[in-house]
């Protein structure tokens, strides 16, 4: 019995993993739904499968099917609103029919069953996005002699997970169809299905926030305008910069990158502008700088907010005049280079404090694109996990999978290091996990050894997995699970905005963060992240 349960759990993990890879690989809705049904047919041995989505008319429409002939598909499409699919859609609840031949609402579909001596069961669940009903997914399975109710429970659970994934992609397509924007193709070397206005090469982004970024990239890429990429560290600014270059008319010319924060002022000047022979000790040969090497192409300046005020003046001249002089030289060199800059700093604040030149700020901030942090695009976490785990398996010749409980931890993490941190977490955990399945206990945070907390929560005590509160009415101790900031709060006192609630709680607790976190019903770790997000310094209280 233990082996059977273990096999069923393993099968669910593999099925969810394969479906997450499908979601990350294509933005073609019909193709995605068909491949999902094919995975279910392969792993669950379904006889038939159907996915129905709500049409703009308000009625269900059969969007994908497996195991059907053309005539069967047309019959099911004609009556999808009157059969079991319609019942599930109306009630919003899962339905299990243990013997399909005894269900009168399904007689029109069972008269040609080639299953003599076998019992066919139907399992159907609603497809939702939040509280919005988007459709229905149903499968038909042969019930073996040893089958019991537990088998159906496992099927319902798995289908509900799949339905949640389908709901996310369906909602995204509805949003995309409502935007009146002309399509722009991706680079010619991308797969055929990726040639769409809402995809970027090597960038995973199914969420609405990232789709907005993709739209802005496609609009700005064909121009010559300077682009400033804004966002926290680890959000993928360099990858987006490369995508802009490959979507531009300069795609056949060089793409050159420079990390401004990694070089001193003198080295940065030589690196960007080059130097003449004998310009300084060790300069035995003439050397071209990155501006010259990027001629006709794109120059990406990462962490531009870290350059000194003195060097900012030199950068301003290059951007204004499109010419410069090598270190030790006196001959102006004209260049035709498109500049893409990136920073995780608040440049507006830096300008106001005198740390960044206002004229350079306006010169580089022609087109500004903000890359959202991972915690604001949680719909992308699942396909990103599938992508990173697939890369790990391919590079290490392994077949690691991840459990639903482990996925829940990843989806609910704050991710201050964003996509880079998620990738490192997947690789680290997959390397150290016991067995072939990443489970909840495999993550360092499950043992109070979270590396992120060490780096980002220096002033916060190690938080427990739950927050213990005391009921003032009966003095009995109760345990409250961790919740995102602000989902539940006192009916009186705390203001509406998150920043105001943080300040209010600190004021109420005289600056004691642990007490303020308990007041807001969140963990000290979450409270610390929120303080960092809103740039609140506790020592001011």
- Ordered domains of the chain (ranges, CATH): 2-177 (3.30.450.40), 192-370 (3.40.50.300), 374-446 (1.10.8.60), 467-540 (1.10.10)
Measured between alpha carbons, how far is 239 from 245 in angstroms, rounded to an integer?
10
Whose CA is closest to 317, among 363, 279, 266, 356? 363
The pTM (predicted TM-score) of the whole model is 0.55
Measured between alpha carbons, how far is 28 from 38 in angstroms, rounded to an integer?
15
476's torsion region: left (phi>0), alpha (psi -120 to 50) or beta?
Answer: beta
Dihedral angle, C-alpha 40, 42, 44, 50, nearest 10 °: 40
The residues, ordered by sequence, that sit 6+ positions from 180 with a Cβ below 8 Å of its Cβ are none
pLDDT value of residue 451? 60
Per-residue pLDDT of the chain (541 residues), as tens digits, is 333 345 566 677 777 777 777 776 666 777 888 888 888 887 777 778 888 888 777 778 888 888 877 777 777 777 777 777 777 887 788 888 887 777 765 655 544 445 556 778 888 888 887 677 888 998 888 776 554 444 677 788 888 888 888 887 777 776 655 544 333 343 444 444 333 445 777 788 888 888 889 989 999 999 989 999 999 999 999 999 999 999 999 999 999 999 988 888 878 888 888 878 766 666 667 788 888 899 999 999 999 999 988 889 888 888 888 888 888 777 888 889 999 999 999 898 889 888 899 989 988 989 999 999 998 888 888 888 888 988 898 899 888 888 877 887 888 788 888 999 999 999 999 999 888 888 888 888 777 666 665 555 543 333 333 332 223 333 232 232 323 333 333 334 555 677 778 887 887 776 777 777 777 878 777 787 788 777 777 643 3
Measured between alpha carbons, how far is 131 from 154 in angstroms, rounded to an integer?
23
SS (H, E, C) 60-82: EEEEEEECCCHHHHHHHHHCCCC
pLDDT value of residue 248? 93
pLDDT value of residue 470? 29
**Pairing label, strands 298-302, 255-259:** parallel
């Amino acid at each position: 019995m233990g082996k059977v349960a273990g096999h069923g759990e393993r099968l669910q993990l593999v099925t969810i993993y394969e479906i997450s890879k499908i979601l990350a690989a294509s933005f073609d809705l019909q193709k995605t739904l068909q491949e999902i049904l094919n995975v279910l047919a392969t792993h669950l041995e379904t006889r038939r499968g159907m996915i129905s989505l709500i049409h703009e008319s308000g009625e269900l429409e059969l969007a994908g099917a497996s195991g059907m002939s053309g005539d069967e598909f047309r019959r099911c499409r004609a009556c999808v609103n009157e059969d079991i699919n319609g019942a599930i859609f109306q009630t919003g609840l899962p339905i299990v029919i243990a013997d399909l031949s005894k269900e009168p609402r399904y007689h029109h579909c069972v008269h040609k069953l080639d299953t003599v001596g076998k019992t066919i069961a139907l399992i159907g669940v609603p497809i939702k996005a939040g509280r919005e009903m988007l459709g229905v997914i149903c499968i038909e399975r042969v019930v073996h002699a040893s089958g019991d109710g537990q088998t159906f429970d496992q099927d319902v659970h798995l289908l509900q997970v799949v339905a949640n994934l389908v709901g996310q992609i369906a909602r995204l397509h509805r949003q995309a169809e409502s935007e009146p924007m002309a399509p722009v193709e991706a680079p010619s070397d991308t797969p055929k299905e990726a040639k769409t206005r809402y995809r970027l090469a090597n960038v995973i982004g199914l969420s609405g926030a990232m789709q907005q970024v993709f739209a802005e990239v496609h609009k700005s890429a064909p121009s010559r305008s300077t682009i400033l990429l804004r966002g926290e560290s680890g959000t993928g600014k360099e990858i987006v910069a490369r995508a802009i270059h490959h979507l531009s008319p300069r795609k056949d010319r060089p793409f050159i990158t420079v990390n401004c924060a990694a070089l001193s002022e003198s080295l940065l000047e030589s690196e960007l502008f080059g130097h003449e022979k004998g310009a300084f000790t060790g300069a035995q040969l003439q050397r071209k700088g990155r501006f010259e090497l990027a001629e006709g192409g794109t120059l990406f300046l990462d962490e531009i907010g870290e350059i000194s005020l003195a060097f900012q003046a030199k950068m301003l001249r290059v951007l204004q005049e499109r010419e410069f002089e090598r270190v030790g030289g006196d001959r102006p060199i004209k260049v035709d280079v498109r500049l893409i800059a990136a920073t995780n700093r608040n440049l507006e604040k830096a300008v106001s404090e005198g740390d960044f030149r206002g004229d350079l700020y306006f010169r580089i901030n022609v087109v500004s694109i903000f890359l959202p942090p991972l915690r604001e695009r949680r719909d992308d976490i699942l396909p990103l996990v599938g992508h990173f785990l697939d890369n790990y398996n391919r590079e290490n010749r392994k077949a690691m999978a991840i459990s639903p409980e482990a996925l829940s931890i990843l989806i609910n993490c704050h991710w201050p290091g964003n996509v880079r941190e998620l990738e490192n977490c997947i690789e680290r955990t997959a390397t150290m996990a016991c067995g072939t399945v990443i489970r909840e206990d495999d993550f360092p945070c499950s043992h109070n050894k979270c590396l992120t907390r060490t780096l980002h929560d220096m002033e916060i005590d190690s938080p427990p997995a739950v927050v213990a509160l005391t009921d003032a009415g009966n003095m009995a101790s109760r345990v409250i699970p961790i919740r995102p900031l602000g989902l539940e709060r006192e009916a009186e006192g705390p203001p509406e905005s998150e920043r105001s609630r943080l300040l209010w709680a600190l004021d109420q607790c005289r600056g004691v963060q642990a007490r303020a976190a308990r007041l807001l019903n969140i963990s000290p770790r979450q409270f610390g992240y929120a303080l960092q997000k809103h740039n609140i310094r506790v020592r001011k209280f």
